[in-house]
Amino acid sequence: MARYIGLRILQTIPVIIGTTFLIYALVFAMPGDPVRAMFGNHPPSEAAMAVIRHEFHLDEPFIMQYLHFLYGALTFDFGKTFQGRAVSDVIATSLPITAQLAFLAIFFEILIGVGLGIIVGVKKGKIFDNFILMSTLVIISIPTFVLGFVCQFLFGVKMRILPTTVGNYVDLYHMLMPALILAGVSVSYVIRLTRSQVRDNMNADYVRTARAKGLDNKTVILKHVLRNSLLPVITYIGADLGALMGGAVVTEAVFNINGIGHQLYSAIAKGEGTLVVSLVTVLVMIYIIANLIVDVLYAVLDPRIRYGKS
């Protein structure tokens, strides 16, 4: 087991290097001079610009620039924004907010998604099944921002039971609606995935064998159906954690949350290369770590993977 985890951690190293390199290359392949862009219509003297270029290693070849960046990233020194604020500071303030939002969303995903998925999967009734399938389809089809605005209007403005925006009030009460909206689409997928997995496993041969042994329905479902059904669901949710952290751009905008998505959006809009690369790098790392956790969890749950067999 320890060997497996060690191996998986080693595997993440080339992935991190590869992705950061790609992002770095893409951002710096964008046209225009970032130093000129910093000063807009009133550029300073060439000599001053050269000093700034030197400070940001912009006068060195691309590969050297990347290595400087990689070294900085490893020591959590991502450089400064155009306003002179340390990038690591921006990350430190915005990341916890996004993390809170994402984890709350994941919590709903597990609670509602897995819970309803199991119930629908186990129950044989057609009407309930169709109702759940239809409503998940509706949620999947509506874009997040539309759903967000509708909910803001309904629960915030009309009924006045939940706050419409978050702003500086980062707490459970204010985060409730954005987290639900953020989780919405994923919940629908999780319900569908869990349902089909449970259905398949209910008909699996080994489940019939478990029944033939004399196990009662409850034990069969809890011990044999669930553990096997949740394997792919865990993969989905784990990958989704990464996606939710980075993909909260729209939700953060609708509910005015100063999270990483929000920062990323404005950095792109302003053309702040350093900030964009740094933020994306952080997101990539979160994504990789989330996947690593999923893989390890998967190995714990499925002995076939633990022993390196398919």
Q: Provide the binding-site residues for other proteins, judged by CB under 8 A.
A: 203-206, 208-217, 219, 223-224, 227-228, 301-304, 307, 309
Residue corresponding to tokens 């919405």: 184
- Residue 299 CB, nearest approach to other proteins (Å): 11
From the CB of 222, what's the least distance to other proteins, in Å?
12
Q: Where are the alpha helices (DSSP H) in the chain?
A: 2-28, 34-39, 46-55, 62-74, 87-108, 115-122, 126-141, 144-151, 172-202, 205-212, 217-219, 226-246, 249-254, 260-270, 273-301, 303-306
Instruction: Count CA within 13 A, CB hemisphere, residue 255.
Output: 34
Q: Which is nearer to other proteins, 164 or 228 (CB)?
A: 228
The burial class, CB within 10 Å (0-12 / 13-18 / 19+), for 206 is exposed
Q: State how far the Cα of 3 lies from the Cα of 11, in Å rounded to an integer.
A: 12
Based on C-alpha coordinates, what's the Rg of the chain?
24
* Nearer Cβ to other proteins (46/216): 216
Ramachandran angles phi, psi of 142, nearest 5°: -85, 130
Q: Would you say 85 or 208 has its CB closer to other proteins?
A: 208
Closer residue to other proteins, CB minimum distance, 46 or 205: 205
Q: Taking the C-alpha atoms of 271, 273, 277 and 279 in order, what is their torsion angle to the nearest 10 degrees? A: -50
User: Closest distance between other proteins and the C-beta of residue 205, in Å?
Assistant: 4
178 and 218 Cβ atoms separated by less than 8 Å: no
Closer residue to other proteins in complex, CB, 143/308: 308
Angle at 146 between CA 96 and CA 271, to 5 degrees: 55
Kindly state the smallest distance separating residue 194's Cβ from other proteins, in Å: 17
* Cβ neighbours around 3 below 10 Å, total: 9
Query: 3-state DSSP call for residue 140?
Result: helix
Minimum separation from the CB atom of position 211 to other proteins (A): 6
Give 179 or 225: the residue with its C-beta nearer to other proteins: 225
Question: How far, in Å, CA of 119 to CA of 129, rounded?
Answer: 9
Q: Which is nearer to other proteins, 32 or 214 (CB)?
A: 214
Cβ proximity to other proteins: between 160 and 213 the closer is: 213
CB of 207 to other proteins, least distance (A): 8
CB of 128 to other proteins, least distance (A): 19
Shortest approach of other proteins to residue 122 CB, angstroms?
14
Q: How far is the CB of 228 from other proteins (least distance, A)?
A: 6
Residues β-bridged to residue 80:
86
Closest CB to other proteins among residues 121, 242: 121
